[in-house]
Amino acid sequence: MEAPGGTWMALNDNKAGMEGLDKDKINKIILEASKGSRYYESELKKEQKVNQRIEKMLQYKELITQQQLLRAQEQVEKMAADLERGRCLGRVIVHVDMDAFYAAVEMRDRPELKDRPMAVGSDRMLSTSNYHARKFGVRAAMPSFIARKLCPDLVIVPHNFEKYRAASTEVREVFSEYDPFFMPVSLDEAYLDFTEHLRERQGWPEARRTHTPRTETATAEGRGVEEGSQGDGGSADLSLVLFEDDPVSPPGPQGPAEPVVFGTGAEEAVREMRFRIEQRTSLTASAGIAPNMMLAKVCSDKNKPDGQYCIPADRQAVMDFIQDLPIRKVSGIGKVTEKMLRALGITTCSGLLQQGALLSLLFSELSWHHFLQISLGLGSTHIERDSERKSMSTERTFAEMSSAEQQFDLCRELCRDLAQDLQKEDLKGKTVTVKLKSVNFEVKTRASTVSSAVSSEEEIYAVARDLLKIEIDTASPHPLRLRLMGVRVSGFLSSDDRKSLQKSIVSFLQSSRPPGDTPLPNTAPDNPTPLSGGAVIQTGMSLTARPSKPGRSAREGQSFFQRAEAQRLRGQAGRGEEREGEQGEERGGVSSCSLQQGQAGLTCPICFQQQESADLRSFNHHIDQCLSAGPAQSHGQGGNLTLFNTHLDMCLNQDVLQELGPGPLSHNASVTASTEGKGTPEPCQSAPKPSSKNKRCGSPTLPSPKKAKGLNPRNTIDRFFR
């Protein structure tokens, strides 16, 4: 999905599809509609702040001496040389982006929308628009009332996420044939590593690269008649084979459903993938091919819609491409950064390189390293799957709310929703954050970290309520006039915490064994208060057990069975509407439970008798029975317990799963290992990711941050601009 963009209030002409209305006219309409509104005033204020930041930066720049600059220049050059040495051109990275995804899905399913300007969204805000509407200046993240002013005939279609998810699933199935470990960014976007595919593809016979177009009548709507009103005329007339890549003969002109043969090179392979996506979904995709993710992402935008662009694996080609590339095109450089850099006279990537020394003196280390990498056309060459989530939140915008009572009610409601979401992923966190936005669009967040992780409505609300109360009391006697409230939970238990809890569970289970049995040497030493049997029994009684009280140790709020269920559900449902929990399908889940589930059903960990039903709920019920009957009932054998321990390990701990070594997960495991920075035997190191969570630079070819810091600790003067 295209980013909102826009330079403050004005229209962002960054993107394609701006042929219709006069840009000035569009901007005028937007301004007219916005002027005087609280939103507008707030935007002005924000802009002022940025301007001040820039002012400070420029003032500081004046203080920089020639000598400082020379020293900095040296340092930057050294760093650039190091980066250059680590440059990797050996991988073929592809970024795929579906064209106007939501809008395209709606148009596919409702052909009458096809030649009308339309957008997908709510009454208040648009998610995306079709290319027809874009000519009017109607864009993603635009409020609907402005869109209607720009284009009175605009049709606004409400979201239908089920459909988008379904389409996305189909697209991803195609992706996985080229890279089973592709990295989804959102429903409509992904990075793929084509390197392996291309290696294999070299030996493929033509037949394996031949695809027959679907006939027009194959599906309900078909892809309809492209009227070629947009872009480069759609892809109905696939002129695929006239590309350089492969000498295969073109199909006869307009032959009915003539098979299409694709070449063996990167561009042909990507063309083939896009062709298959369109055949499969009647949706078009754009793609970028490049030696790294940063470049691939920029490339996919270049020939949008329904096009692709390739930067060959050649240093000069990369540098040529980078030369005049506007910095704003690079993912991670947003409105504010662009403006700050523009104030320094930098608008293109080559400018970043030329002004490297200056930037190293004006920006934080992380920032100027990032800039330097961009300026050299470097980026990550390894595609890592999503890491574990770090927070979960829910927030809502509403008509002005000033009554404290209502605010507390709403807060509770948000906590309830959030608790439900947390439970779906079986998460507990220690930090609760409340977000408030006033009717003047001023945003405040207030956080509190508690000693034991929370996940239930009551637990979260207990914290959130206090935070909210402080704000209300502080503002008193004035009421808080809110337009938005949100609640977030973060600080999730680490996998180490999970391990320790899982050991605790095991030790609990041991405690229910008859005396005389030697206990497993498994008790968590770092958990001074192992779970009391009562606690587990209480909270583990059933899947509908009420939330646990505060003050308990980690994760005990849910039984193992609840968690197994949660994990299973996780494998089916995504995380959210737009950004899904992608790796759910590949990791863990019920598949790892086959150890016990297998043919006959599940084995009860208490009585060690097989249960017929594989249904977790009834199984859980059985456990309840067993537990109520008391430990005296249990008569397990050591063998079974060991087996069960193993099972617990597998089900409870995804890290353990990965450590289990080769197998379907080995790729993941190796990726994880390499990102740990423990020496990467790979031919290509992942370029140090600027915005990576890893503070240290992953590549051994990089100078240590320490060195840079020691050189000029005061270099980082971002704070002067704030």
Partner DNA sequence: GCGGATCAC
Partner DNA sequence: TATGGTGATCCGC
Region 108-127 residues binding DNA, contact defined as CB under 7 A: 124-125, 127
Give, to the nearest 10 degrees, the angle between helix 38-63 and helix 23-34: 110
Assess 486 for contact with DNA (CB under 7 A): yes
Between CA 56 and CA 50 the distance in angstroms is 10
Binder among 445, 494, 572, 633 for DNA (CB under 7 A)? 445
Binder among 323, 354, 367, 438 for DNA (CB under 7 A)? 367
Residue 186 or residue 591: which is nearer to DNA going by CB? 186
Binder among 7, 14, 27, 34 for DNA (CB under 7 A)? 34
Region near DNA per CB under 7 A, out of 208-216, 274-282, 325-333, 623-631: 325-333
Find the binding residues for DNA in span 590-619 (CB under 7 A).
none
Residue 231 or residue 491: which is nearer to DNA going by CB? 491
Find the binding residues for DNA in span 537-566 (CB under 7 A).
none
DSSP 512-566: TSPTTSPPPTT--TT-SSPPPHHHHHHHTS-TTPPPPPTTPPTTTTS-HHHHHHH
Burial of 488 (0-12, 13-18, 19+ CB in 10 A): buried
Residue 37 or residue 610: which is nearer to DNA going by CB? 37
Beta carbons within 8 Å of 617's beta carbon, 6+ residues apart: 543, 565
Query: CA 579 from chain center: how many Å?
Result: 6
DSSP E strand stretches across 174-303: 183-186, 189-193, 210-211, 260-261, 285-290
Assess 53 for contact with DNA (CB under 7 A): yes
Residue 276 or residue 297: which is nearer to DNA going by CB? 297
Between CA 645 and CA 30 the distance in angstroms is 63
Region near DNA per CB under 7 A, out of 194-202, 273-281, 447-455, 562-570: 447-455
Backbone angles phi, psi at 73, to 5 degrees: -60, -45
Region near DNA per CB under 7 A, out of 26-34, 205-213, 505-513, 634-642: 26-34
Assess 9 for contact with DNA (CB under 7 A): yes
Question: Please, what is the minimum distance in Å from the beta carbon of residue 693 to DNA?
Answer: 3
Residue 50 or residue 113: which is nearer to DNA going by CB? 50
Assess 446 for contact with DNA (CB under 7 A): yes
Beta carbons within 8 Å of 543's beta carbon, 6+ residues apart: 559, 561, 562, 565, 616, 617, 620
Q: Yes or no: say if 505 and 461 are a contact pair by the CB < 8 Å rule.
A: no
Binder among 342, 575, 621, 667 for DNA (CB under 7 A)? 575
CA 674 to each of CA 126, 181, 437: distance values in angstroms, whole numbers, following the listed order: 40, 15, 41
Assess 433 for contact with DNA (CB under 7 A): yes
Q: Yes or no: say if 576 and 394 are a contact pair by the CB < 8 Å rule.
A: no
Binder among 21, 30, 89, 293 for DNA (CB under 7 A)? 30
Site string for DNA, 179-198 (x = CB under 7 A): ------xx-xx---------
Give the HSE-up count for residue 225: Cα atoms under 13 Å, Cβ half-sphere: 1
Question: Please, what is the minimum distance in Å from the beta carbon of residue 691 to DNA?
Answer: 5
Between CA 437 and CA 385 the distance in angstroms is 33
Find the binding residues for DNA in span 686-715 (CB under 7 A).
690-693, 695
Find the binding residues for DNA in span 635-664 (CB under 7 A).
none
Residue 215 or residue 391: which is nearer to DNA going by CB? 391
Assess 73 for contact with DNA (CB under 7 A): no
Find the binding residues for DNA in span 383-422 (CB under 7 A).
387, 389-397, 421
| Closest listed residue to residue 626, CA positions, set 639, 613, 609 | 609
Question: Strand pairing partners for 569?
Answer: none
Residue 68 or residue 264: which is nearer to DNA going by CB? 68
Binder among 14, 331, 354, 438 for DNA (CB under 7 A)? 331
Question: Please, what is the minimum distance in Å from the beta carbon of residue 317 to DNA?
Answer: 23
Question: Please, what is the minimum distance in Å from the beta carbon of residue 340 to DNA?
Answer: 8
Binder among 28, 145, 218, 628 for DNA (CB under 7 A)? 145
DSSP strand pairing (391-401 vs 308-310): unpaired
Binder among 297, 304, 555, 622 for DNA (CB under 7 A)? 297
Give, to the nearest 10 degrees, the angle between helix 560-572 and helix 404-424: 90
Between CA 327 and CA 341 the distance in angstroms is 9
DSSP 493-504: PPHHHHHHHHHH
Region near DNA per CB under 7 A, out of 154-162, 260-268, 426-434, 510-518: 426-434
